[in-house]
């Protein structure tokens, strides 16, 4: 085990289905290798009993790097001094619902948690929102935490990024490791834009290798963008293990850095790059060094890509207007 001080990691929705995978991945070292960690687990009061059962199972794994676990229903206690916060806890959508339907149901969770993080988290806390609608929930948390720099709030589009890589690799019959420079632009919703024009396969342009714009438009993009709904239809429940995997990968890369020569998709507060209005939490191609992300600059966007990005960003503007009207930001 490393001799570094334990990193305090908060996870919300800890008795839910994503966390039933996520907590064990974090504790087994998928996040930070052998660095010691302390888990701070937040749930609503009625779910604390179930969470005690999850903690019993974590104990029964005898993970060497997991030095302490605390649970509770008070974000001000659970978030005290945390360096990383994974905000997973929120209601998932059911069959037939769009993510926008969750705005009012879940938005209020993130005002309280943003305020608590603002008051008690470590100054360098990294906050990653997985709970849907993830981009706008991250915006709510960020706006309710005025003392924490905006750049410390991200939302998850890594699952979409991984879905896009996997669909492209299957189409071209190559291992997924050949796919690089994938980008998800915009919202984690059906309007998201997975971009094959800047992606590469074996170092070559992905769109050119596919050579079939109709497939990109009518097959690839909707398959990736509606994958969440397809999983709900098949499983009767929203994606969980793959969402946990993506949450770990996003936070790991944010803390430890992205691989040399590639980028990942992260929903981060826009600085105006690529014409996305400043402050919206929108997905971009990002690299990370020394714990700080940067939006990759200078990518070419043709007319098709521009229109797709604009449509997803317009949805983010609508969501921001809706939560403003609800008094959440």
- Residue 231: contacted member of ligand LMR, ligand NAD, none (CB under 5 to 8 Å, by partner type): ligand LMR
Cβ closer to ligand NAD: 55 or 210?
55
Q: Buried (b) or exposed (e) across 175-211, using 16+ Cβ within 10 A?
A: eeebbbbbbbbbbbbbbbbbbbbbbbbeeeebbebbe
Told to check if 132 binds ligand LMR by CB under 6 A, we report yes
Told to check if 238 binds ligand LMR by CB under 6 A, we report yes
Told to check if 105 binds ligand NAD by CB under 6 A, we report no
Nearest approach, Cβ of residue 239 and ligand LMR (Å)? 4
Nearest approach, Cβ of residue 281 and ligand NAD (Å)? 12
Q: Exactly one of 66, 88, 316, 328 binds ligand NAD (CB under 6 A); which one?
A: 88
Told to check if 100 binds ligand NAD by CB under 6 A, we report no
| 188 noted as active-site residue | yes
Consult the annotation and say whether 17 binds a ligand. Answer: yes
Cβ closer to ligand NAD: 93 or 126?
93
Nearest approach, Cβ of residue 36 and ligand NAD (Å)? 25
Told to check if 144 binds ligand NAD by CB under 6 A, we report no
Cα separation, 130 vs 106, in Å, equals: 12
- Residue 17: contacted member of ligand NAD, ligand LMR, none (CB under 5 to 8 Å, by partner type): ligand NAD
The residue annotated as part of the active site, out of 161, 181, 188, 250, is: 188
Told to check if 273 binds ligand LMR by CB under 6 A, we report no
Cα separation, 211 vs 205, in Å, equals: 10
Q: In what order do the strands lie in the sheet with 281-289?
A: 66-72, 37-42, 7-12, 84-87, 126-129, 153-155, 264-269, 281-289, 292-295
Q: Which 62-121 residues touch ligand LMR, going by CB under 6 A?
A: 92-93, 99
Cβ closer to ligand NAD: 47 or 322?
47
Q: Which residues make up the interface to ligand LMR (CB under 6 A)?
A: 92-93, 99, 132, 159, 228-229, 231, 238-239
Catalogue the active-site residues: 188
């Amino acid at each position: 085990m490393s001799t570094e001080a334990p990193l305090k990691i908060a996870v919300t929705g800890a008795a839910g289905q994503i966390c039933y995978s996520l907590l064990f991945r974090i504790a087994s070292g998928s996040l930070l290798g052998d660095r010691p960690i302390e888990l701070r687990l937040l749930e609503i009061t009625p779910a604390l009993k179930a969470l005690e059962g999850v903690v019993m199972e974590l104990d029964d794994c005898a993970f060497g790097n997991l030095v302490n676990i605390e649970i509770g229903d008070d974000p001000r206690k659970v978030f005290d001094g945390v360096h990383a916060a994974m905000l997973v806890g929120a209601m998932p959508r059911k069959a037939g619902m769009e993510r926008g339907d969750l705005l009012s149901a879940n938005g209020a969770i993130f005002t309280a948690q943003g305020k608590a993080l603002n008051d008690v988290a470590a100054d360098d806390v990294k906050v990653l929102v997985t709970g849907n609608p993830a981009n706008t929930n991250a915006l709510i948390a960020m706006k309710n935490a005025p003392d924490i720099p905006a750049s410390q709030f991200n939302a998850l589009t890594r699952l979409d990024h991984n879905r896009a890589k996997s669909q492209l690799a299957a189409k071209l019959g190559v291992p997924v490791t050949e796919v690089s420079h994938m980008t998800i632009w915009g919202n984690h919703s059906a309007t998201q834009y997975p971009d094959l024009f800047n992606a590469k396969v074996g170092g070559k342009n992905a769109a050119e290798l596919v050579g079939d714009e109709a497939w990109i438009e009518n097959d690839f993009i909707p398959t990736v963008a509606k994958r969440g709904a397809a999983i709900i239809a098949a499983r009767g429940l929203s994606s969980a293990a793959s969402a946990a995997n993506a949450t770990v990968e996003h936070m790991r890369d944010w803390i430890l850095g992205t691989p040399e020569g590639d980028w990942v998709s992260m929903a981060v507060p826009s600085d105006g790059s690529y014409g996305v209005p400043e402050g919206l939490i929108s997905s971009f191609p990002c690299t990370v060094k020394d714990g700080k992300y940067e939006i990759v600059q200078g990518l070419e966007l043709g007319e098709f890509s521009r229109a797709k990005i604009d449509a997803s960003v317009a949805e983010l503007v609508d969501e921001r207007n809706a939560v403003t009207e609800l008094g959440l930001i």
